């Protein structure tokens, strides 16, 4: 095998480094999302098809928080600030969203739970955050989230002393799906008002 001159070798090493770093950057977001969902790191919640079979006597306060991305035109708030729930008991809470604009707006919600140690024990059965939401001009909706606190929380040395958890949602605007965008435009390609 022929030896490469030092300049060619350096260029090949630099190009390889750029490719490896680019690949790691590309993979970091899905890997981080997977890591957070598996470990509950960063307050990421879990999901289930049904409620818990075990309900403990211990009560925990669940607080609800709402915010929105800076350019999101909706009004968004929890319908209740908090509720007391036995660990393992199924809870139902509602958030309200209102589109004060004169055009349809699509949104998606991101969420987390604080304290972060309790995130993986906050289990959603059904949630508006599982799908994108589209509100028509002037439309106001109440959106449910059904959940429970997993009884295994009491066995976790880092989470078992939590007296309260806070479920936070942030809504951000997304592009309208193609069929909705087409309905919002007239034949000239201008937005209907």
> Average per-residue pLDDT in the chain?
83
Query: What is the residue-wise DSSP string for 106-122?
Result: EEEEEEEEESGGGGGGE
Q: Which of 25-29, 61-65, 111-115, 126-130 has the lowest mean pLDDT?
A: 25-29
pLDDT in tens, 45-103: 677 788 889 999 999 999 999 999 999 999 999 999 999 999 999 999 999 999 999 99
Domain ranges of the chain: 1-39, 44-180
Looking at 3.40.50.10680, 1.10.3720.10, 3.40.50.300, 2.60.370.10, the CATH number of the domain 44-180 comes to 2.60.370.10
Pairing of strands 59-68, 164-174: parallel
Residue 58's pLDDT is what? 96
Is the model's pLDDT at 183 over the cut of 90?
A: no
Contact 90, 109 (CB under 8 A): no
Confidence of residue 37 (pLDDT cuts 50, 70, 90): very low
Is 0.75 surpassed by the pTM of this model? Answer: no
């Amino acid at each position: 095998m022929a030896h490469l001159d030092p300049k060619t070798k350096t260029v090949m090493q630099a190009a390889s480094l750029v490719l490896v770093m680019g690949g790691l950057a590309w993979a970091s977001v899905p890997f981080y999302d997977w890591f957070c969902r598996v470990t509950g790191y960063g307050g990421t919640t879990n999901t289930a098809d049904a409620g818990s079979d075990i309900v403990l006597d211990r009560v925990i306060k669940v607080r609800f928080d709402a915010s929105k991305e800076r350019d999101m035109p909706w009004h968004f708030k929890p319908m209740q600030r908090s509720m007391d729930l036995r660990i393992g008991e199924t809870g139902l809470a509602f958030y309200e969203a209102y589109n004060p604009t004169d055009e349809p707006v699509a949104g998606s919600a991101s969420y987390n739970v604080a304290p972060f140690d309790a995130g993986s024990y906050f289990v959603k059965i059904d949630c508006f955050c599982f799908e994108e939401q589209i509100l028509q001009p002037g439309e106001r909706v109440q959106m449910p989230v059904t959940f429970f606190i997993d009884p295994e929380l009491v066995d976790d040395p880092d989470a078992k002393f939590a007296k309260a958890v806070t479920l936070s949602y942030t809504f951000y605007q997304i592009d309208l799906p193609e069929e909705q965008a087409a309905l919002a435009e007239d034949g000239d390609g201008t937005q209907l008002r």
